Amino acid sequence: MTISSSYNASVAALSANASRLSAISDNIANASTYGYKRVSTDFESMVIDSGSGSFSAGGVRITTTRLIDEGGSLVSTANATDIAVQGRGMLPVTPANAVLAGGATPMLLTTTGSFRPDADGYLRSDSGLILMGWPATADGTVPNFPRDTQSGLEPIRVNTTQFGGEATTNIRFAVNLPATSTEAGAAGTAEDLSLQYFDNLGTSKTLSVTFAPTVPATGSSNEWTMTVRDSASGDAVVGEYTLTFDDARGTGGTLLSVNTVSGGAFDPATGKLTVNVAGGPIEIDIGEPGSPMGLTQLSDRFAPVAISKNGAPVGNMTKVEIDQNGFVRAFFDIGSSKVIYQVPLVDMPNPNGLKSLDRQTYAPTPASGPYFLWNAGDGPTGSVIAYAREESATDIAGELTRLIQTQRAYSSNAKVIQTVDEMMQETSNIKR
């Protein structure tokens, strides 16, 4: 009987609108939840094939979808390790209880989080999620890890009480040598220069550089012997070079050539030579031949013009920050910083196919497709924004509008049920 189909269709509509109300209430309840992705509901009609001259109502059914690819606005915070993703990528995280238990660390995904070092040094959120990343090597470089698996990822752990130092690997200096010292009759007095460097343990060491002029019998030789000694090697000679300077008009006073007596060879294309100290090689930049920016021989005065180097002594870690490329940097009170991890951004073909879990986290599924780990700032995933959180994707005005629509639809279908009931009563009264 078609009148009963009206009843069934309205009952189905009440159930569908009740489900839609649940989705709306969940969206409104999480309007202030960072990183929340709203739930969207769609109605689908159910059609029953009816014979000619009659019609049976099929009713309605509902489908719900969490719109994970729909982001909220970014808001600024005061914490350097509050991060959000500006783009379609997602951050890899893992539950803290899994890490502390020492078992497997499943990779979950989220789009924002407030991470701070916990008692064990893990970058952990208040909801119990630990940020994951690729560990850097001792020199601050990140190896090439596989991009289609989480095997290279590990929970990010920082030790805020650790010390940090940086060994010196290159030194650049500009020095003027007196041209008068290479003239016939000069005293032949050597000039000394002391260069500080830091070894692999952050200890201060010294390279002693001596410039000895070649004094000819007549005229000017424009030649010096540069000897480099290392204090960490018992003042042993680690490099000796014969320097010849140009005296031509326009290029006078610049390096003409460098002859290697011992130590690493001089590269005229870069103006650099390498000496092996006790802790390893150090590259020394003395300037290219013909350049006025390195060693020069002018006038009658010895003058160290500029000395610069990398490396730093041992210092205490003061803070940790994450930059837009996902590099986790530790900063030390000596003014240096060091990359300790890199946080990749995870991308998949269908973000809305992810499985929704608690704490605004998601797990990959066959429906989401195979994931790929990109460097933040490269590819389609966007970049990491520090000092920021992603707000809820809920639009309160839109949800309240849908709430009114749902209420009206529910009331209308309830009225249909009431009408069907009255018609059924009328049918029953025919017998009276």
Do 237 and 261 touch, CB atoms closer than 8 A? Answer: no
What is the band of 229 on the pLDDT scale with cuts at 50, 70, 90?
very high
- Cβ neighbors of 406 (< 8 A, separation 6 or more) are 17, 20, 21, 24
Nearest to 373 by CA among 409, 347, 354, 395: 347
What is the pLDDT at residue 58?
A: 74
What is the pLDDT at residue 160?
A: 62
Residue with tokens 């006073």: 253
The span from the CA of 392 to the CA of 30, in Å, is 7
- Cβ neighbors of 295 (< 8 A, separation 6 or more) are 174, 175, 176, 177, 243, 255, 286, 287
The span from the CA of 105 to the CA of 388, in Å, is 26
Instruction: Give per-residue burial for 295-328: e unless 16+ CB within 10 Å, then b.
Output: bbbbeeebeeeeeebbbbbebebeebebbeebbb
Q: How large is the C-alpha radius of gyration of the chain?
A: 37
- Mean pLDDT within 242-271: 95
- The pTM of the full predicted model, rounded to 2 decimals, is 0.72
What is the pLDDT at residue 147?
A: 95
Instruction: Put residue 218 in one of left, alpha, beta given phi > 0 → left and psi -120 to 50 → alpha.
Output: beta
Tokens of 31: 């309007």
* CATH class for the region spanning 168-310: mainly beta
pLDDT per position as a tens digit, 166-201: 889 999 999 999 999 999 999 999 999 999 999 988
> Across all residues in the chain, what is the average pLDDT?
92
**What is the 8-class DSSP label of residue 264?**
S
With a pLDDT cut of 70, the percent of the chain lying above it is 97
Of how many residues is the chain composed? Answer: 432
Domain boundaries, the chain: 2-70+393-429, 74-165+315-390, 168-310
- Cβ neighbors of 232 (< 8 A, separation 6 or more) are 199, 205, 277, 278, 279
pLDDT per position as a tens digit, 64-99: 999 999 999 999 999 999 999 999 999 999 999 989
